[in-house]
Amino acid sequence: MYVKLEPFGYNIYGETIGSVWLSLVEAVSRNGLLTEDEDRKRLSLQNIRIKSATQVFPDSLIEKYGNKKNVNEIINLTFNKEVMYDFDVVPSFSPGSKSYYARIKDWEMVDFIVVRLAEIPESKKAIMSFIRKEDYQRVLEKPKDDYLPCITTVQFRLIKIDDKKGYHMNTLFNARSIDAYQKAGGNLAAISLLSKEVSERLAKKLNTNIWSGPLDGILTDAHIYEECTEEANETIRLYKHYEQNTI
């Protein structure tokens, strides 16, 4: 579901990451303004807040209505492949920059998160930041063929339940820009898998239960490119048709 709350903009909520993804696509496709971004037409919304009550992947709605190849591309760029490339129908940058996986691995970010929260569970410093100085330099050097990570930060918070039950782990992320139809489903899947990895390692290190909490996101710009609008609309039509009785 999504609602527009003035003066803040659109808020999107769902029980699962798949329902959040589909609500995001619907919100942009039905309410987005026709804008241009580096010579490409698109529907776009600004400053969206999203929240999924759970972080579970595989997700039945993403598997049913998402593009499996696109979802797997994002997951691989987060967990396996070291070189970033664009699988957009119209690629906006050349391959070559570090992927999310390379940044996480080279900067030992998962290790940092686990060590920090194991030492100070209430810490607000357990955050992955994906942008580095060299990214700014490349943007200035090649402004028409540059790459800057769309997901800029992912933060993990432990919220104590009690000594017996352990902690909830909430995950929060910021996106400077997100392709609502082609890539957002994969982004939500990849972040949920990151949360799973962190929570499992923390549970062992703290010798307690770490329960998956909600996934929150702030999206500065969410968009659907002109080349994908018909397909996105058809996806929402099918979703509404087949899932109407369970929504």
Element (H, E) at 166: strand 166-175
Residue % of the chain over a pLDDT of 90 = 97
Q: Which residues pair with 155 in a beta bridge?
A: 127, 172
Picking from 225, 233, 227, 184, the residue whose alpha carbon sits closest to that of residue 70 is 184
Give the pLDDT score at 243: 85
H/E stretch holding 8 reads none
- In which domain, by residue range, is 44 found? 2-245
Count of CB atoms situated within 10 Å of the CB of 36: 10
Cα distance between residue 155 and residue 195, in whole Å:
10
Q: How many residues are present in the chain? A: 247
Euclidean distance between CA atoms 69 and 64, whole angstroms: 13
**Helices (DSSP H) in the chain: which residue ranges?**
17-31, 60-65, 68-79, 100-106, 109-119, 133-141, 184-206, 229-243
- Cβ within 8 Å of residue 30, ≥6 positions away: none
CATH of the domain at 151: 3.30.572.10
- Per-residue pLDDT at 245: 59
Q: What's the total number of domains in the chain?
A: 1
Each residue's pLDDT tens digit, 156-176: 999 999 999 999 999 999 999
Average pLDDT, the chain: 97
pLDDT at 69: 98
What distance in Å separates the CA atoms of residue 188 and residue 137, rounded to the nearest whole number?
28
pLDDT at residue 101 is higher than 90? yes
Backbone angles phi, psi at 85, to 5 degrees: -150, 160
Phi, psi of 212 (to 5 degrees): -65, 125
- For the beta carbon of residue 113, count every other beta carbon within 10 angstroms: 24
Q: Which of 18-27, 67-76, 108-117, 141-150 has the lowest mean pLDDT?
A: 141-150
User: How deeply is 185 buried, as exposed, middle or buried, from its count of CB atoms within 10 A (0-12, 13-18, 19+)?
Assistant: buried
Question: Which pLDDT score, from 0 to 100, does residue 244 have?
Answer: 65
pLDDT band at 246 (very low <50, low <70, confident <90, very high): low
